[in-house]
Amino acid sequence: MTGNTVAKSVQTTALESQSESIFRRFEGNVAARMWGFVRPHQRLLIVALLCIGIFTLIQVSIPLSLRHVVDTAVGDGSAPLTTAVLAFVALVAGYAVFQFLSEWLATKVAQTVIFDLRRAMFVHVHEVSLTVLDRTQVGRLMARLQGDIGALQEFLENSMSALGDLFLLLGIVVVLMLLDLRLGLLTLSILPVMVIVRAAWIPWAKVKYLRAREASSIVNATLAENINGVRTVQESRREDINFAGYQVKANDNLQSQIESAKASQLMVPVVDLLTGLALAVVVLAGSESLRTGEISIGVIVAYIFLVQRFFDPIRTLSMQYTMMQRASASGQRVFEVLDVPLTLEDKFGAPPLNPDPPTIEFSHVSFGYRKDECVLHDINLCIQANQSVAIVGATGSGKTSLVGLVHRFSDPTSGVIRIAGQDLREVSIESLGKHIGMVIQEPFLFSGSILDNIRYGADWATDEQVVEAARAVHAHDFIVQLPDGYQTQLGQRGINLSVGQRQLLSFARVLVADPRLLILDEATANIDSITELKIQQAMKTLLHNRTSLIIAHRLATVRDADRIIVMDHGRIAESGSHAELLRQGGLYARMHASSLNPVSG
């Protein structure tokens, strides 16, 4: 292995470890945790188990009925034979009915529980702090939300039938003993072999299943990352390099899945071999008892049928154990996601935000994404109602972190942030979204119509209000030129629109929601000069009668702000109007001069 290969391998492992690190807080037994999702549907569960119980009794009764049919057929009299056959047919009909009911109800319970689990994961992921999600590979998270949930669904759908198989196994043992104690004991004498084999197989198989799930997660993460970054991959001409890295993970996944399949199938031939041995015992010992007249031919037929049925549930339970091990590994990974702590939660009875007047106050605020790293230091800032405040500074100076605290994407490490005198930690998080609008550098548009995307944050808005907002931000003209106008369906992330058009839609989205506070985070960074002129005109409408925080690299876009805050290494270096800061001749003046006279390459 070359030095570069080793370095890449170490780097990949480090990234994977970092991505998984937030999921190492899982506590508790998977079965106990799953019961919490099953409990609300216990009535349906009881009905399903009742049907399974009846189905099991019918399965045990069929061999006994068959014995009666055979013994009656060998004897004299046609009427008893007709009665015996009709009883046998009735049992077979009941078998079909309750098999359907058992499987249908078991599937219904499983699907309902999985629905609740998917919903819980969806809600939880949306409530987890953005700082946590930013450190997580999307592909690995999706593997847990899809692949691991799928493994749990497969297990739940088969778990109740496995319970029925267990009851059937016990019922067959009882019937075997009642029919002929000596023959029953001889038949069950091979069970110790089964116990020894399974005891050796279980720990080995468990390791294989867990490794297979981990390898699958890594492949999914790599695939998702490369698809999302395909433009960068093509620009850098790294197709061959990325494929080589993916192939290593794919090969590892292939081998892991093969090993898992081998572990899964290993018990099948063992059970089949034991079935054959048990049947041989029945034939040899039973034929001797038949010659001496100790048992009837009907008992032999029933015994053969029961022995075959005896090992069917054992085989099924062996396969179910495979599913259980996969489900256990998947359940652990699912509950690891649900156990990621919510760093931002409403206090009990938290009132909604009432931003009237919409003032913003930072009082000795410090913040860091990690305990040992502080990106904002002792920020003291008061923004008056309806004032537009621009925040400028070099990359990494803390601008985005500052406005993120206002929207409460995170809580400050120390200090207090108040809006209209209310501590943000004391008000409901949901109310913040209703009163604070935000436009970011790379707006996210959802699949759907332009109309639905504009009123994404304001479901109550009428079509007329949407059109009015689009006109205000100069988006209406390009929208009506599209084939279906406002009903035009957008591709993933609005890929069928230009960057400028997507940004104009995000402005319209905020305007139609009509928030009292507005945050613009590099909202014009990716827009051409012509589109920027349109937005500058629209911003006058957008900022009217609103308190606003505006982050911008282009100083020309913030010169008309009521106040400009200059950030430097997480601290407020300067504060004042454009003219005041130029007269001071400090950091802002140097930034302004640099923007007017850029250094040529």
The pLDDT value recorded for residue 598 is: 47
| 364 confidence band (pLDDT: 50, 70, 90) | very high
SS3 551: strand
pLDDT bucket at 360, cuts 50 / 70 / 90: very high
Q: Quick one: pLDDT at residue 215?
A: 83
pLDDT score at 235 = 64
Tokens of 317: 């339970």
Lowest mean pLDDT among 38-42, 226-230, 376-380: 226-230
Which backbone phi and psi does 519 adopt, to 5 degrees? -120, 125
Q: What is the pLDDT of residues 295-327, one digit of tens each?
A: 777 777 777 777 777 777 776 776 666 677 667
Token pair, residue 157, equals 């759908």
* Highest mean pLDDT out of 10-14, 320-324, 378-382, 459-463: 378-382
Q: SS3 of 388, please?
A: strand
Residue 515 and residue 432: Cα distance in Å, rounded? 10
CA–CA distance, 231 with 239 (Å, rounded to integer):
11
Determine the number of helices (DSSP H) and then strands (DSSP E) in the chain.
22, 12
Q: What is the mean pLDDT of the chain?
A: 77
Q: Is residue 600 very low, low, confident or very high in pLDDT (cuts 50, 70, 90)? A: very low
Listed range (6-20, 245-259, 438-452, 539-553) with the worst mean pLDDT: 6-20
pLDDT of residue 18: 39
Q: Are strands 547-551 and 517-521 parallel, antiparallel or unpaired?
A: parallel
CA of 225: how far to CAs of 9, 214, 453, in Å? Answer: 17, 17, 25
Check: CB of residue 299 under 8 Å from CB of residue 180: yes
| 458 pLDDT above the threshold of 70 | yes
Give a three-class secondary structure readout of 143-211. Answer: HHHHHHHHHHHHHHHHHHHHHHHHHHHHHHHHHHHHHCHHHHHHHHCCHHHHHHHHHHHHHHHHHHHHH
pLDDT of residue 146: 64
Distance of alpha carbon 520 from alpha carbon 548, whole angstroms: 8
The C-alpha atoms of residue 423 and residue 429 are separated, in whole angstroms, by: 12
Tell me which residue of 118, 149, 141, 120 sits closest to 22, measured CA to CA: 141
pLDDT number for residue 532: 66
Judged by average pLDDT, the poorest of 236-240, 329-333, 464-468 is 329-333
Q: How many CB atoms lie within 10 A of CB 90?
A: 12
Which of 250, 278, 108 minimizes the C-alpha distance to 193? 278
Question: Across 15-24, 219-228, 574-583, which has the greatest mean pLDDT?
Answer: 574-583
pLDDT in tens, 82-125: 887 888 889 889 989 998 998 888 888 888 888 888 888 777 76
Tokens in use for 356? 């009237």
Q: What are 582's two structure tokens?
A: 């130029």
Distance of CA 286 to the CA centre of its chain: 56
pLDDT exceeding 90 applies to what percent of the chain? 7
534-559: b (≥16 Cβ within 10 Å) or e: bbeebbeebbeebbbbbbbbebebbb
Nearest CA-CA partner of 264 in 212, 214, 219: 212
Place of tokens 């009837």: 296
* Whole-prediction pTM: 0.57
Which pLDDT does position 601 carry in this prediction? 34
Per DSSP, the three-state class of 418 is strand
Neighbours of 305 (CB within 10 A): 16
- Which runs of E-coded beta strand occur in 441-531? 448-449, 489-490, 517-521
Q: What was the pLDDT predicted at 335?
A: 73
Query: How do residues 25-50 score in pLDDT, each as one tens digit?
Result: 434 477 777 788 888 888 988 998 89
How many residues does this entry show for the chain?
Answer: 601
Residue 279 pLDDT grade (very low, low, confident, very high; cuts 50, 70, 90): confident
> What is the pLDDT confidence band of residue 280, given thresholds at 50, 70 and 90?
confident
Percent of the chain clearing pLDDT 70 (strictly above): 80
Domains detected in the chain: 23-338 (1.20.1560.10), 360-596 (3.40.50.300)
Report the pLDDT averaged over residues 442-471.
84
More confident residue, 271 or 235: 271
User: At 326, which amino acid appears?
Assistant: R
Q: Please tell me the predicted confidence (pLDDT) of residue 363.
A: 93
Higher pLDDT, 90 or 223: 90
Cross-strand pairs, 530? none
What lies within 8 Å, CB to CB, of 216 at 6+ separation is 143, 147, 253, 256, 257
Residue-wise pLDDT for 322-352, tens only, equals 677 667 767 776 776 676 655 667 778 888 8
> What is the model's pLDDT at position 326?
67
521 or 231, higher pLDDT: 521
Q: What are phi and psi of 558, to 5 degrees?
A: -120, 5
pLDDT of residue 126: 65
Residue 383 gets which letter from DSSP?
A: E
Overall average pLDDT of the 394-416 stretch: 86
Output the pLDDT for position 142. 58
Instruction: Please name every residue paired with 490 in a beta bridge, in sequence order, or none if there are none.
Output: 448
* Mean pLDDT to the nearest integer, 133-151: 59
Between residues 427 and 35, the one the model is more confident about: 427
Question: Does position 247 have pLDDT exceeding 70, yes or no?
Answer: yes
For range 453-469, the mean pLDDT:
85
